[in-house]
Structure formats: C-alpha cells, structure tokens
Amino acid sequence: MNSIEFNKIRKKIQLDKEDALEKVFELILTGVQVSNPEFLHIRGKVSCGKNVKIDLNVIIEGDVKLGDNVTIGAHSILRDCNIGKGTKINPFSLVEGSVIGENCFVGPYGRIRPNVSIGDHVSIGNFVEIKNSNIASKCQINHHSFVGDSDLAEQVTIGAGVITCNHDGAGVNRTVISRGVYVGSGCNLVAPLKINANAMIAAGSTITDEVAADTLTIARSRQVKIENWKGPKLKK
C-alpha cells in the first residue's frame, strides 16, 4: 500500500468517525444523557423520550425506540426494538427484534431474541435468554433460565435455572403457563406443555404432562441415603 492509498483510507475513517459523532450529538441535543459520545455507536435510527441515559460502548442498530426514563447499561446492544418508559437494560445485554414494556428490569447479561413481547413490570434476571415468547405483566424470570416458544400469563414466577425444552429433535413446540404459576428452580418443562393457573412446580422437577390448576406437582426421584458408604479414596 502506497502513501496515497493510505491517506485515502485514513481520511475515510476520519469522515466516518465524524459522521458517527454527529449522530450522537444530535441525540444529546434532544436531552439524552450519554456517558461518553465517542463510545456510543449508532448504526441505524433511534428515537428517545425524556431523561434517557446511555452508558459506555452501547451499540444501536436498525430502528430503536426508547421511552421516557429508560436506562441502557454499558456494552449493551439494541437492535430493532422498542423499550417502554422506566425500563432498565443492565450491562452486557442484547435486545433484538422485540418489544419490552414499562418499568421492566433486564440483565445484566440478558438476551432477548426476536419475536419476544414483554409486558409491564417484568423482571428478567442475569444470564436469562428469551426466544419467540409472550411474557405478560408482573412476571419474574430468574437467573440462568431459558424461556423459548412460550406464552406466560400475568404474575408467573420462573425460578433460577429453569429450561423450557422446546425442541424435540424434529420441530419446535410451545409451552403455555397460566396466571399465577410458580416454577421452582432447576425445572425442565418439556414441550408441548400446559401449566394451569396457580399451580406450583417443585424445584428440580421434569414436567412432561399437563399440570392442573391449584396443585403442587413434584416430578423427581426420591432422595436415597446409603449408610456406611465408602467412596473412592484420594491418591496421596
């Protein structure tokens, strides 16, 4: 590469950087609080309400809408999404092709995949992944859970480490969870599956059949105690 070609590339990079900063400053002029303009990357269209706060190294792609009092944590990626007022997206989260309601809490390290609709006052814990699902208002999905191809009614609680087993090797099946259901930590919900209103699923259960309303379901092996057990000895 000769010096002329190098200077052309350097000039283009500088112009691209100036164009990117111009987009950020236009956003700041509307009242958006940006931690550091040089570390906000706008690669599409974004519209913001009042008192929006955006932290470092956030990437915005496609068409993004942020309501009043929305907070976007550092290193998050927003792509073709609509986020309602008062919602907080915590650091290192990815939201794409989805709608999130008002006063929600996502992450850190949350992943909201395309075709997800989330109601108001929903809490999505750290390392939670949601795919192609409808989550009604006042639900709580705790850390390290996967909710895929599911419909959750209002006030459903999903404990830590719960998995909706949506793929049977040939296709995808849905899980339907009615209002007020509580699913304990570490459960496997094998789709297709329906859990009716106000049911409780004991922690560690694997559920394969429909669960009746207002019942407690336990589906796990009983604990066994073996006396005078002599396990393998550690080598010295």
Q: Which residues are catalytic?
A: 143
Buried b (16+ CB within 10 A) or exposed e, 182-210: bbbbbbebbbebbbbeebbbbebbebeee
Q: Residues 212, 135, 162, CA angle at the centre, nearest 5°?
A: 65
Structure token pair of residue 226: 């073996």
Amino acid, res. 42: I
CA-wise closest residue to 217 among 176, 175, 192, 189: 189
User: Nearest Cα to 112, choosing from 122, 99, 101?
Assistant: 99
